[in-house]
Amino acid sequence: MSWIASTALFLEILLLLYVATIDIATRLIRNEICLALALLGIVSQLASPMQVAQSLIAATILLLLLLVIYQWGRIGGGDVKLLVALAIGLPPTGVIQLLTVTALAGGVLALAHLMMRQLPYPRLAPAGGRFYQPELDGLRFYAFLGVFVYHTLPSQALFYRRLHLPLPGLWGAAAKSGASGVDLFFALSAFLITSLLLRERQEMGNISLRLFYLRRILRIWPLYFAVLTLGVVLAHTIPDQRLPWYYVAGYLLFVGNWISAVFGHTQSICSPLWTVSIEEQFYLVWPALMKILERRGMIIAAVLTFLLATLSQAGIVLAGLSGGYIYYGSASRCGSLALGILLALFADRLPRLTNNQRWMLVAIGLLGWIAASAWLVEQPGPVTMRMVLGRMVVSVASGSILYGSLHSRNQLLQGRWVVQLGKRSYGLYMLHLTGILILQSVLRPAWGWQLLATKALGLAMTVILAFASYRWIESPFLRLKDHFATVLSRPI
């Protein structure tokens, strides 16, 4: 891709973020913005005049079709303009997938609305004091940083040997262990959700599933579907971006982890979305269990969940299935979730740790990650019981890091910038492959220090995108989310 096409792509991404903000705030999409998107779509295809002609013809047909639907009152004028503007930058097959994604997204929203109507209407009451532990925001940032390292630095010792670094194998194992940041995210989510719902039941006398699901939708869905839409667009404009229709359908239905388990990793900025699928499945099941279980029942359920994770992994190995079912499977990933639940249930009974004990627990966890990385198999393929042991070590190590960080006042966790970055960890995680893609498309690094420098700049670009996302996409929904909270959590 030429630098002109790369620049056009970057401007399109910024305009789409701006469009999302304007649509949320005013329900109005300006004609100038749609015209700019259309022109940028043409510019990105200047290297192929035939593709420009094909996309213009497809966009014209789409415009006529949408005008008919608009006359029926089934779609807004702004939606017509935006879809046609995006279609100009896509080949005919891309236009079909764009419409499919739009229709499926609308169906998911309608289904969610129908389910919400069937739930009993909650009894609203004034919210109590905020439940907020800033050190956990700091921990979120470090969890993201681990994932970023894993996705950007090679795990092969040869790479570090060429850089003349000592202990190249250790550097490779450390880079590989960054994938365990996902398990830390799972443990954090389970801990926070369980803690909030326990406080809600204590203060309100019950848990409102209606309000919980609504809060999760407002927190997760806006950026999630924005990234998914962007991924579909990029899959039809950038040669090395690949997002087949079955991945799109899986992400829309929040079963993307199972699509990845069956078909493997896909080369797309949307590839991290599989973890959100697991979290959404957890949000669907665990609060409903908390509503009917007492504390003792919750403890038993969490212990059984941890055992289920290990047994399911062993069953996959004995059945001779692909390692993708262990790495991406819902049941096999429940170990870290279960430990997060248990930490929340015993939070008021666990002893407060000294600083030395905290450092020891965190160090043990990090060493566990690095040691276990030698046992894990990230890509689908034959696996042995070593992977089962490795997954167990990673889960326990993640729980150790979380426990060692609770109530810590260390500036590494509670420093102002660390906390601010942690607040934006969702955007950092969701957009980090986009940031890397932008820098690699522009700079085209070869190897060695050039690649490392590009990755570092990719982190800076990711931070910029995450701050923009938090300001213009997430914050409006977070403010709305607070209106449905019985127990207020982190301030915006």
112-144 confidence digits (pLDDT tens)? 545 545 545 444 444 446 788 999 999 999 999
Q: What is the pLDDT of residues 45-69, one digit of tens each?
A: 666 777 777 777 777 777 778 787 8
Per-residue pLDDT, averaged over 235-243, amounts to 87
Q: Which residues are CB-contacts of 369 (< 8 A; sequence separation ≥ 6)?
A: 146, 177, 180, 394, 397, 398
Instruction: Give 363's pLDDT tier (boundaries 50, 70, 90).
Output: very high
Question: What's the CA gap between 402 and 191, in Å, rounded?
Answer: 9
Question: Taking a C-beta distance cutoff of 8 angstroms, is the pair 478, 218 a contact?
Answer: yes
User: In sequence order, what DSSP letters do the residues of 163-196 get, joined into one string?
Assistant: TT-SSHHHHHHHHHHGGGHHHHHHHHHHHHHHHH
pTM assigned to the model: 0.79
Q: Fill in the amino acid letter for 208.
A: S
**Residues 43/14, Cβ–Cβ less than 8 Å:** no
Query: Maximum Cα–Cα distance for the chain, whole Å?
Result: 69
Give the pLDDT score at 118. Answer: 53
User: How far is it, in rounded angstroms, from Cα 140 to Cα 191?
Assistant: 12
| Statement: residue 181 has pLDDT above 80 | yes
Residue 93 pLDDT class (50, 70, 90 cuts): low
The percent of residues above 90 in pLDDT, for the chain, comes to 48
Residue 373 tokens, joined: 């990385």
Mean pLDDT over the full length of the chain: 83
For residue 484, give every residue at least 6 positions away whose Cβ sits within 8 Å of its Cβ, in sequence order, or none: 211, 214, 215, 218
Those residues with Cβ within 8 angstroms of residue 189's Cβ, 6 or more apart along the chain or in another chain: 279, 282, 337, 340
Percent helix, percent strand, percent coil in the chain, to nearest 5: 75, 0, 25
**What are the domain boundaries of the chain?**
3-111, 134-219+254-482
Percent of all residues in the chain with a pLDDT value above 70, rounded to a whole number: 81
In this model, does residue 159 exceed pLDDT 50?
Answer: yes
